[in-house]
Structure 1
């Protein structure tokens, strides 16, 4: 048997996606390459690991055994790498933290600065992803921790709330909704929208809810920054959806009205997300403690 760590990661990506095609995308591989590697994995172990169906794949009993041990091996590797760093002169290296858009722009900047100042030998690599993508990444052992919305389903992982993150609709002052205090998402989906640029985790999250409701948002323009979005709305270009903190901050500079969204997915909390505190590297434990996490409370 010649399975390596890359094989284990690919297999977990396929299993968690329930599809060879989607698993290949998550593993950043071409479909043909992923299919060939999967064929080789099954040939090496000498037993069928996946049952192919027209809707995707399902694990056999042997496949379930491989899933269990692959997760253990990848988590142990992450712990090993973290512990080896502690043998250097001081704690040094780069830790990877995944965060949704609101956490990356509103919560983390002022929180990270003092922690980084106290740890001059540590670097933090921040990666923006949707909450769902972060949960998947942590579940397959490709990341230790992230900051997500509590609206995401995270089976097997711990979520510790650390901040509020309500999403608010902002509208031009002459818009029909300007005098409304709350509104349903369904009642605004026909409005012209100002959005964030493609690839924004927050905009992807909002678009997903529009698709679930059976309606694609009509974007007049998509901006790179929250400030640009707020300025466009203030000029009457369209409506937009931003975190509450963003809406309050830029309202001092731009003229628009803020309306609360009624949907539960818009009334969110930001949560630290990880598998188990004891499995985290010392550096990640230190950072999460600074952000408000604790080993004593690991409630999902």
Structure 2
């Protein structure tokens, strides 16, 4: 039984995406070549690794085991390269980082720009996920690091503080909230909403909170950025839940009111998580150090403090 690193990376790409076609594309292989490699792995092990479904593929129990060990092998090789490069005077590698919507939109851009500029040989693969899915993918070793809200179940992970993030309700001036400065999410659910796309981690989080209240959000339009959401709310289309830092950019010079959400889940700590920080590759360790340093993202932090006043 002999697998090369291309086989292992391909198999992980296929299981992560649920598609041989998508896995082949990520591996820069032709579909026929990727299919032949997968069949070769199954023939060598004499056991099916993938279950072919109409909606895609999913790994068999044997496939889950192969994916687990493939991930360990590739992570160990990545750590080896990182340590050798570090000894040679340079640090190279790739870090897979998963994050929720708020961190990707308002906190990570400046922090990651600083990190990438100071570590030109390290690449960061950044993907948006809801916090609860980030936790499960970290436990499955499908990513190096994750940034989640503290409401996620992280008991099995190690974590470090990243940023404080407060969610607020933005409403048009002259709306039915009168002189209220605070509001419960349940009260807001009687209004039409402006939201992000259904694939947004924040939107999935809000839909879950509404479901727990036995209600559904009536979303009239979905947009791709918090800035566009705030402009649509200002025009009177509906209300929206956004991070305080995003609301603060619009509230001063627009007909937009910002109400504090009284729900406990709306005032949250964002955390950097890993299965074990001492088992990370050196590039991942350097990224954690950069993200935990307050100076790496001064702009969003100042905005967040002013938004909570």
**TM-score, normalising length: structure 2:** 0.71
Query: 1:233 aligns to what?
Result: 233
Query: 1:163 aligns to what?
Result: 163
Tell whether the 8 Å contact from 1:182 to 1:260 is kept in structure 2 after alignment: yes
Tell whether the 8 Å contact from 1:193 to 1:238 is kept in structure 2 after alignment: yes
Q: Secondary structure at 2:90's aligned position in 1?
A: coil
Query: 1:284 aligns to what?
Result: 284
Query: Residues 126 and 161 of structure 1: is their aligned pair in 2 closer, same or farther, counting only changes over 3 Å?
Result: same
Give per-residue Cα distances to partners, 1:166-188, cap 9 Å, x unaligned: 11011111112252121111111
Q: Secondary structure at 2:125's aligned position in 1?
A: strand
Give per-residue Cα distances to partners, 1:190-223, cap 9 Å, x unaligned: 2100001221111111111112222111011111
Q: Secondary structure at 2:163's aligned position in 1?
A: strand
Query: Residues 224 and 69 of structure 1: is their aligned pair in 2 closer, same or farther, counting only changes over 3 Å?
Result: closer
Tell whether the 8 Å contact from 2:92 to 2:121 is kept in structure 1 after alignment: yes
In the alignment, structure 2 segments of 5+ residues that lack a partner are 24-40, 47-60, 294-309
Q: Secondary structure at 1:268's aligned position in 2?
A: strand
Q: Secondary structure at 1:112's aligned position in 2?
A: helix
**Alpha-carbon separation, structure 2, partners of 1:180 and 1:233:** 17
Tell whether the 8 Å contact from 1:71 to 1:140 is kept in structure 2 after alignment: no
Query: 2:195 aligns to what?
Result: 195
**Alpha-carbon separation, structure 2, partners of 1:212 and 1:261:** 16
Query: Aligned pairs, how many?
Result: 276
Tell whether the 8 Å contact from 1:178 to 1:259 is kept in structure 2 after alignment: no
Tell whether the 8 Å contact from 1:167 to 1:242 is kept in structure 2 after alignment: yes
CA RMSD of aligned residues (A): 4.0
In the alignment, structure 1 segments of 5+ residues that lack a partner are 14-22, 30-40, 47-59, 294-300
Query: 2:186 aligns to what?
Result: 186
Query: Residues 119 and 214 of structure 1: is their aligned pair in 2 closer, same or farther, counting only changes over 3 Å?
Result: same
Tell whether the 8 Å contact from 1:94 to 1:125 is kept in structure 2 after alignment: yes
Please give the residue correspondences for 1:68-147 in structure 2 after superposition, counting only pairs within 5 Å: 76=76, 79-80=79-80, 82-83=82-83, 86=86, 90-147=90-147
Tell whether the 8 Å contact from 2:250 to 2:256 is kept in structure 1 after alignment: no
Tell whether the 8 Å contact from 1:178 to 1:257 is kept in structure 2 after alignment: no
**Alpha-carbon separation, structure 2, partners of 1:240 and 1:203:** 10
Query: 1:57 aligns to what?
Result: none
Query: 2:219 aligns to what?
Result: 219
Query: Residues 93 and 68 of structure 1: is their aligned pair in 2 closer, same or farther, counting only changes over 3 Å?
Result: closer
> By how many angstroms is 1:83 displaced?
4.1
**Alpha-carbon separation, structure 2, partners of 1:45 and 1:186:** 54
Query: Residues 265 and 123 of structure 1: is their aligned pair in 2 closer, same or farther, counting only changes over 3 Å?
Result: same
**Alpha-carbon separation, structure 2, partners of 1:111 and 1:128:** 16
**Alpha-carbon separation, structure 2, partners of 1:223 and 1:274:** 31
**Alpha-carbon separation, structure 2, partners of 1:7 and 1:122:** 22
**Alpha-carbon separation, structure 2, partners of 1:141 and 1:80:** 17
Query: Residues 77 and 207 of structure 1: is their aligned pair in 2 closer, same or farther, counting only changes over 3 Å?
Result: farther
Give per-residue Cα distances to partners, 1:240-269, cap 9 Å, x unaligned: 000010011122343211111111111111
**Alpha-carbon separation, structure 1, partners of 2:10 and 2:232:** 47
**TM-score, normalising length: structure 1:** 0.73
